Amino acid sequence: MDEIIAYIIIGLIIFLVLVAVSCIRIVPQAHVFVIERLGTFRTEWQTGPHLLIPILDRVARRVSVKERVVDFKPQQVITKDNVTMQIDTVVFFQVTDAKKYTYGIENPMMAIENFTATTLRNIIGELELDSTLTSRDVINNKITAILDEETDRWGIKVIRVELKNILPPREIQDSMEKQMKAERERREKILQAEGEKKAQVLVAEAEKESKILRAQADKEAEILRATAEKEAMILRAEAIREQKIRVADGEAQAIASVQQALAESLERLNQANPNQNVLQLKALEAFGKAADGKATKLIIPSEIQGLAGLAAGLKAVTETTEEEAK
């Protein structure tokens, strides 16, 4: 009997331990547990261990507070100029209030998808095709603001809405491709024209610089030639001047030598004590040299006039004899 009671007690203890362990709940990181007691909201459990009272409490919903991304299927929209196209959207959102997210709406994802589609139709309906294709940021910001305001009552924070694809009808795409091709060809021609213009400008500038450089080179060459000619003339003038100086020095030295020779001869003649006939003979030689000069007038001393007449008579007789001999 005691053994049976002991087994019952052990079994009861094990049961209580299992019940206690089963009542412990651990909330993972970035999750929130919504707890109900007897069917009524009681509290929100944050990250960490918590004790759940059996029968009375239950985990109504496990809510992830991580940022999530939902890619919705393409929606057909009509632009202001009656062009039908398909647009698929991507919504980035995060649960900020687990209680509102649990009790605010039955199916939050379906609600966000439908609300995104209706909002997108309203915004695109106010835009034309070209504006729709070039105003993605404007459309994204408008949808984000509207969705964030409307989903706040569901405990959802819409962070960003992006238009993933915008697909106009095929004929519109073909027309746009032709238009883009024409635009690219126009830009190509403009670029080619601008390139040719720049090339011509560069060629003209190069020719201008070349002419300027050639003119500068010619100018410098003329300056160098003029400088060289000037220096050559200066050198020639200096050479002529040096030559004349040397000739004058030579003539002066020759005259000085002649004068010195004459002085020495006179000195020797004076030392020889010549007689009157020798002096008259020397005077006659000097007179002959004077007569050979360029003077137009000659002053003859009286002492040698007689000798001069005698010399003239001898010269006349000599010339007559030579003529008769011929």
Torsion angles phi and psi, residue 66, rounded to 5: -70, 160
Is the pLDDT at 144 greater than 80? The verdict is yes
Whole-model pTM above 0.75? no
pLDDT of residue 43: 92
pLDDT of residue 313: 46
Q: Are 108 and 70 within 8 A, CB to CB?
A: no
pLDDT of residue 317: 42
Looking at the chain, the whole-number percentage of residues with pLDDT higher than 90 is 17
pLDDT of residue 299: 53
pLDDT in tens, 238-277: 888 888 888 888 888 888 777 777 777 767 766 666 555 5
pLDDT of residue 315: 46
Is the pLDDT at 39 greater than 70? The verdict is yes
Q: Are 92 and 68 within 8 A, CB to CB?
A: yes
Of the candidates 155, 143, 151, the one whose C-alpha atom is nearest the C-alpha of residue 116 is: 143
pLDDT of residue 65: 92
pLDDT in tens, 174-209: 777 788 888 888 888 898 898 889 999 999 888 899
Which residues does residue 50 pair with via DSSP β-bridges, in sequence order? 25
pLDDT of residue 31: 92
CA 29, CA 52: separation in Å to the nearest integer? 18
CA 136, CA 161: separation in Å to the nearest integer? 10
The overall average pLDDT reported for the chain is 80
Q: How far is CA 62 from CA 98, 105, 153, 173, in A?
A: 9, 15, 19, 46
Helix (H) or strand (E) holding 90: strand 84-95
Is the pLDDT at 27 greater than 50? The verdict is yes
Quick one: average pLDDT of 138-154?
Answer: 91
pLDDT in tens, 200-246: 999 988 889 989 998 898 898 889 988 888 888 988 888 888 888 88
pLDDT of residue 158: 93
Quick one: average pLDDT of 42-52?
Answer: 89
Quick one: average pLDDT of 102-114?
Answer: 89
